[in-house]
Structure formats: C-alpha cells, structure tokens
Amino acid sequence: MIVELGHFCVVIACLLACLQVVLPSIGLKQNNAQLMASASSLAYGVFVFTLLGFLALIHAFVTDDFSVEYVANHSNTRLPLQFKVSALWSAHEGSFLLWTLVMSIWTMMVARFSAPLTTDMRARVLICLAALGVGFYLFLLLTSNPFERALPFYPAEGADLNPLLQDFGLIVHPPLLYMGYVGLSVPFAFAIASLWGNTLDVSWARWSRPWTNLAWAFLTMGITLGSWWAYYELGWGGWWFWDAVENASFVPWLIATALIHSLAATEKRGVFKSWTVLLAIFGFSFSLLGAFLVRSGVLTSVHAFAVDPERGAAILMFLVPVIGGSLLLYSARAWDLRSRVTFKRSGRESFILGNNVLLTVSAAVVLLGTLYPLGFEALTGGDKISIGPPYFNAVFVPLMLALMALMILSHRSRWWATARSLLTASQGVFSAIALVAAVGLSLVMGPIKFWILGVAWLAAMILLNLGYELYRRVRRKSNRISRLLTQPLAVYAMVLGHAGIAVTALGIVTTVMLSEEADLYMAPGDRAQVGAYEVRFYGTNSVQGPNYVADQGRVEVSRAGELITTLFPEKRRYLASQSIMTEADIHVRSLGDIYVALGEPLENGAWAVRVHIKPLVRFIWFGGVLIALGGVISIFDRRYRVPRARASRKTSLAPRLEPANG
C-alpha cells in the first residue's frame, strides 16, 4: 500500500511540476504577479511529494518488500541496513528517482533564495526548472517506474545488491554526483530565463555564480569520490580509466569549470556575455548527454547501468528539444549580447579567456574520444572499436600542463590590464625555489623523472604565486595576520581551488611515473620483492561476514628488513548472489599506499596476489576535496548576501573603458 502511495505521490509531484510551468506562464502573459509567485509555492509542493515517494521506496527496501520488482532485484534480507537504503539508487529506476528528488531540491532551493529577484525573472527561472522536472518525471513514470509490483508471484528472497556496490562509496557517490549533474540545471535555467526575458545583464551573472559554484563543487566531490571508490573497491588499483561513464561526468565538469571562470569575468567586467550563456547551456546539456550515454548502453563501459536502448531513445527525445531549443533561443538573442567592454592583453580577462579555450578544447577532445566509437560504428556499419587511454592521455595532458602554466601568472593579473612589473616581480626567485622544491620532492620519492620535475615545478610555482597574492593583499597593512584571516571568502575559495589543482597534479604525475605494480604467484611462505618492499604471503584463512564468506590472506610487507604492515586482503563470496568479489587491503602512509589484493586461488594453497606501491596517490583525491571545498566556501562570500535591490541598475553603470589597441 505504501508503495502505491509513493507512486501516487510521484504522479502528484509530476502534476504539480506541470502546474509550475503553466500557472506562472499565464501569469507572465497576463502580468499577474500572484500567478507568477505561485511558482515558488509549487516548488515546495513538488519537493514534498517527491520526497514522500522516495521515502515510500526506502520503506519498501527496509521492510524487504520483495513484491516490488525493483526491491526484489536489488536487495536481500541479509543485506546490512545502510546498504538496503542505498540499494535504492544502485540501479537505473531508483537512481532516476533520486535524480528527480535532487532536481526538486535544487528547484526548491532556488525558490527559497531568489526572493530579491524581480517577479518576472524569478517566475521564468522556476518555469525553466519545472519544465525540466516535468521531463524527468515523465521519463521516470513512463519508462523506469521503480514502484512496479511483481504480483502475484513474487520471490520470497531478493536477488541481492551487486557486491561491488555494497560499500560506503555507493552511499555517498551517486547523491553527490547527481547534486552536481542536476545542479548545472540552475545556471542553465538562469541563462534561458534571461534570454527569454531579454534581461541578460550583469545581475544575471551575479545571480548565477553561487549556484554554479555550488553545483560544480558537488560535481567535483562526486567525481573525486568515484575515483577513490573505484581505486579501493574494484581491486585493480586504478583510479581513472577514461571509461565512457567517467568521461560522461568529466566533460560537464570541464565545461562547468570554464563556466565559473567566465561568469566571474562577465559579472565583474561585463565581458564574454554570450559565451558565458553558451557555456551555461552546454554545461547542463552535457550532463544530460552523460545521462543518456550511461543509461542507454550505447557505449561499452565498466559500469553496468541498466542497459536499455528504449530508455536511451526516450532520453534522446528529451535531449534534442532541450539542447536544440536552448541553442535556437540563444541564436535568436545572442546578437543583442555583444558587449562593448574591452580589455588589454595583460588583463585578467585574457587569462580567463585562455582558461576557457583550454578547458573547452579539453572537453571537446574527451568528448570526441568518448563518442568516436559510436560514430565509427555508424559509419562502418557495425565495426566495434574502443579508444584506448593512450589517446586521452596524449591529448589531455598537454592541455592541462598549459592550463597550469597559465594559472601561475593568472594569480598576479588584474582586471582590464596588468602592469608587466606585477606579472614578473620575484618570478625569478620563485622559479629557483620551485626548482629546488621539485628536485627535493623527486629525490624523496625515488629516481628523478623529468615529468615529475616538470609538474612539481609547475605546482610549486602555482602555490608560490598564490602565497604571493595573499601576501600582496596584506603587505601594506599593520596587522597582517588578522588581515590575512579576514580576506573575502572568495579569495580563500580561489586559493583552495587552485592549490587543489596543484596537489592533484602532483599526485597524478607521481603515481603514474613511480607506481610499482606486480601480479605474483605466491604459495604460503613465498617472498617477493616489489620495488623497495619485500612481500611475504602466509596463506589464507576462512572468515565469515554478515552476508558473505571469504578467504582472507595474510601478507606482510617490510622494507629493508623492517616490518611495515601486515595486510589482510579478502576474496569474498556473497551468499545470496554467489558472486565473487575482491576486497583489497590498503596500508596508507603519507608518501603513498601499499595496496594488496587477492587474485584467484591456484593449486596447493597458492594464490595470485596483486601488489601495488602507489606513491602520493592520496594527493589526487585530497586535491579534489580542496577544490570542492573552495567551491563551497565561495558561495558564503559576503557579496552574495547583501540585498541586491539595486543590482538591475548596475548594467547602465557598467564600466566603459577606452578601446584597446592590442
């Protein structure tokens, strides 16, 4: 009964979302403020009913109601409680319900925090969000209903959750990722609403910024967690595979990163307006495209998401009008958007332009590599190909190195123009310090490698220039320390974000260059040397978990005769599904991980044992966390809290400077 009520609640949410499109639209036409304002209250209604539907399905999972097909397919009575809850979003139908819930949360948040907007603008933004919502609800209800019953013959026991997903990662990764994916609909809606109302002024950019930053921070966190999860859970020791599904989240991230920078330029200086709108449209379009790629099964991926061409077609039917319509609206209105603001080559605008070029090109080449197999198959009449990671590395790495080089100087830049002396001050000293730091790091980590030296130098230069910028801000003040602590949050956000990039880059290059990886045949008592470490295998014991049995190996790792750690990797057999899963054991140290996983049992108690030494691998995710933290902090900046009653007048006051000659 509760399940039917839940289903009914989602239907009501869909109807309310329809109303949220229709009523304020009539209001706009008749200039009826009351009807326009209804959009906000309806947003709350949509959220409440979606939440009720969501809770109903959670109830079905927790109470093991296997008459619901989706529950029967993805849960089991022996599943621990936290995984019963997270099993809800472990497959297509339920995860799409989560998607709609996240959509309703964002819409409600926009309704809650947009009171200072004009009534028109607010109504338009909420109409756009609600229209997207209607599409998602229809898709959920018509093609992917998680509330469907399997009556009258339903199983007494559930098929169980895929063991790979019985993990903390599943609890946090999809919700965060969806907050990011769906959150990009907010800057999209702001852009469309502004095009629609022809009110694309500077206040639009100012309004979009905190939303974009927040969505981007969620996306960053979601991708970072996904990488960490893959690393410790899949048992391969890899942290990024250039897999189609990973790329599907990475392309929107690259575009969103470009967007948060170009929004800054548009807000502060009124430049790149139409480009920024285009990025806002593409950011969300690519997150929809990602959803299509992931769920339609058109691409081969290590992620097995409900593969159903029919659903793919349905998403495509949604995708085409959304992207096509937006671009049509854009092309009709973009002509009016030409800004007359100029800037010099040395201005911060130029650096942001460079950032945008590099990021969009990166997004384009990643997208090309991801979609190429599809195009190839279509053109050759069915030949299946895959594009290997070497392609992505070859095209992506140089672009990122260029981006890091650009980032070094960007911290010195000022809007409109930057004095040459400011760009170059102390750079010689900094280069020397960075070189010493890079060589020092290389020596600590092992053999000197050119790539580590180069990237470490770039990272050190970024950090030094960030430090210099902070120092410059307080240099002339008497109370430097307290000044340093009271800088605008936006400054800290930028520092954290950029420092995060440096940290992640350092982690990536060191892990890639210096990892030691060995697949070993080991009988009990065998020893082997992996890099600087000696590994000794002591055989396996049987152990029992709540819903699995496992062979647990004992592996001692020592260095120069000194025991560092004893690891207990497991090979688990989950009882309900009888599926086998590798549970790696990882020893975490400041300079890197020691990663041990069991392969398969061989004759006479011997096992295949996988041993990885991964220097600085944690830096990759630590940097990601710093970046996301930067995004979150930025939205609490004072500037976004002051009442913006006069914001709309700002356009006429937009600075007009003399044309540049360069």
Partner 1 sequence: MKFGAMKPQRRNRLLLVLGLLAGVGLALTFVLKALNSNINLFYTPVQVIDGEVPIGARVRAGGMVEAGSIRRSEGSLEVAFTVSDLAGAAFEIRYIGILPDLFREGQGVVATGALSQDGVFFAEEILAKHDEKYMPPEVAMALDATKLEALQP
Binding interface with partner 1 (CB under 8 A): 162, 164, 235, 297, 300, 302, 304, 307, 361, 365, 368-369, 372, 376, 382-388, 390-391, 394-395, 519-521, 577, 579-582, 597, 599-600, 602-603, 608, 610, 661-662
Q: Which is nearer to partner 1, 160 or 267 (CB)?
A: 160
- E strands, 135-280, in order: none
Rounded to a whole number of angstroms, the minimum distance from the CB of residue 189 to partner 1 is 32
CA dihedral 104, 109, 111, 112 (to 10 degrees): 140
Q: Which is nearer to partner 1, 26 or 302 (CB)?
A: 302
Rounded to a whole number of angstroms, the minimum distance from the CB of residue 516 to partner 1 is 15
Q: Which is nearer to partner 1, 172 or 395 (CB)?
A: 395
Rounded to a whole number of angstroms, the minimum distance from the CB of residue 326 to partner 1 is 25
Rounded to a whole number of angstroms, the minimum distance from the CB of residue 657 to partner 1 is 16
Q: Which is nearer to partner 1, 534 or 570 (CB)?
A: 570
Give the relative orientation of helices 348-380 and 244-269 as an angle to the nearest 10 degrees: 150
Q: Which is nearer to partner 1, 73 or 413 (CB)?
A: 73
Collapsing DSSP to helix, strand or coil, 524 comes out as coil
Q: Which is nearer to partner 1, 523 or 563 (CB)?
A: 523
State both tokens at 321.
């009008």
Q: Which is nearer to partner 1, 354 or 623 (CB)?
A: 354
Could you identify the residue written with the tokens 């969806």?
178
Q: CA 225, 227, 229 angle in degrees (round to 5)?
A: 65
Q: Which is nearer to partner 1, 74 or 209 (CB)?
A: 74
Residue 418 and residue 361 in contact, taking contact as beta carbons nearer than 8 Å: no
Rounded to a whole number of angstroms, the minimum distance from the CB of residue 271 to partner 1 is 16
Rounded to a whole number of angstroms, the minimum distance from the CB of residue 171 to partner 1 is 19
Q: Which is nearer to partner 1, 5 or 394 (CB)?
A: 394
CA distance 158 to 230: 26
Query: What stretch of H or E contains 79?
Result: none
Rounded to a whole number of angstroms, the minimum distance from the CB of residue 389 to partner 1 is 8
Rounded to a whole number of angstroms, the minimum distance from the CB of residue 397 to partner 1 is 11
Q: Which is nearer to partner 1, 449 or 573 (CB)?
A: 573
Residue 487 and residue 470 in contact, taking contact as beta carbons nearer than 8 Å: yes
- Tally Cβ neighbours within 10 Å of residue 155: 12
Rounded to a whole number of angstroms, the minimum distance from the CB of residue 373 to partner 1 is 9
Q: Which is nearer to partner 1, 402 or 484 (CB)?
A: 402
Rounded to a whole number of angstroms, the minimum distance from the CB of residue 62 to partner 1 is 24
Rounded to a whole number of angstroms, the minimum distance from the CB of residue 367 to partner 1 is 11
Closest CA to 13 of 174, 179, 130, 142: 130
Residue 70 and residue 96 in contact, taking contact as beta carbons nearer than 8 Å: no
The DSSP line for 410-476 is HTT--SS---HHHHHTTHHHHHHHHHHHHHHHHHHHSS--HHHHHHHHHHHHHHHHHHHHHHHHHTT
Q: Where are the alpha helices (DSSP H) in 475-524?
A: 480-485, 489-514
Please give the single-letter amino acid code of residue 621: W
Q: Which is nearer to partner 1, 136 or 351 (CB)?
A: 351
Rounded to a whole number of angstroms, the minimum distance from the CB of residue 308 to partner 1 is 11
| Cα separations in angstroms, 552 against 124, 168, 573, 585, 616 | 59, 20, 11, 10, 27
Rounded to a whole number of angstroms, the minimum distance from the CB of residue 382 to partner 1 is 7
Write b or e for each residue in 566-590: b if 16 or more Cβ atoms lie within 10 A of its Cβ, otherwise e: ebbbbbbebbbbeeebbbbbbeeee
State both tokens at 192.
């469309």
Q: Which is nearer to partner 1, 118 or 579 (CB)?
A: 579
| Cα separations in angstroms, 41 against 51, 135, 198, 614 | 16, 20, 25, 52
Residue 539 and residue 605 in contact, taking contact as beta carbons nearer than 8 Å: yes
CA distance 297 to 128: 28
Residue 538 and residue 525 in contact, taking contact as beta carbons nearer than 8 Å: yes
Judge if the upstream peptide bond of residue 152 is cis by omega within 30 degrees of 0: yes
Please give the single-letter amino acid code of residue 511: T
Rounded to a whole number of angstroms, the minimum distance from the CB of residue 522 to partner 1 is 10
Rounded to a whole number of angstroms, the minimum distance from the CB of residue 387 to partner 1 is 6
CA distance 302 to 373: 15
The DSSP line for 28-40 is HHHT-HHHHHHHH
Q: Which is nearer to partner 1, 25 or 547 (CB)?
A: 547
Q: Give residue 162's Cα distance to chain centre.
A: 23
CA distance 283 to 187: 9
Q: Which is nearer to partner 1, 428 or 659 (CB)?
A: 659
